Amino acid sequence: MKKNSYLCSRINTFILKMKILIINGPNLNLLGQREPGIYGSSSFDTYLPELRKRFADVEIEYFQSNIEGALIDKMQEVGFTYDGIVLNAGAYTHTSIALQDCIRSLKAPVIEVHISNVHQREEFRHKSMISCACKGVILGFGLDSYRLAIEALKG
């Protein structure tokens, strides 16, 4: 009996766990070293285990690329089966119609995140090409923006 209930809980966890992909775009592989006054001194590799620990009920996958097409390929790969995508598209946020089209095509909701408050920065960062296709936008809370985005996806 004990064994059965253990198996049931394992199966439930397997079946019911939400699946979320976090995607970081260009230059975000340099978090911790890159302009720490703006982006902080913690690397994403340090932060990710904290997130996974906090959301033990969520399967959190992580992908980073500096290449626009690779971000699109990854979103297409998971965008019809995962429960949500947390996307920090970095500078592509401000330029990429291709990312906007991709987000529009997916079934999974996409939350746009930014570490910095882009509206307090240069004017070219005030415009997002992807916000209109995303479920919502979270920005300006440092790395905590990612946690808030997961909370939003969990609803």
Which residues are identified as catalytic?
39, 114
Q: Does 138 bind ligand DQA (CB under 6 A)?
A: no
Out of 18, 91, 133, 152, the only residue in the binding site for ligand DQA (CB under 6 A) is 91
In DSSP notation, 32-101 reads TTS-HHHH-S--HHHHHHHHHHHTTTEEEEEEE-S-HHHHHHHHHHHTTTSSEEEEE-GGGGGT-HHHHH
Q: Does 125 bind ligand DQA (CB under 6 A)?
A: yes
Q: Does 96 bind ligand DQA (CB under 6 A)?
A: no
Q: Does 130 bind ligand DQA (CB under 6 A)?
A: no
Within positions 49 to 68, which residues make up the interface with ligand DQA, using CB under 6 A? Answer: none
Q: Does 93 bind ligand DQA (CB under 6 A)?
A: yes
> Closest separation between CB of residue 54 and ligand DQA, Å?
20
The values of phi and psi at residue 58, to 5°, are -125, 140
CA angle 43, 46, 52 (to 5 degrees): 130
Query: Applying CB under 6 A, which residues contact ligand DQA?
Result: 27, 88, 90-91, 93, 114-116, 118, 125
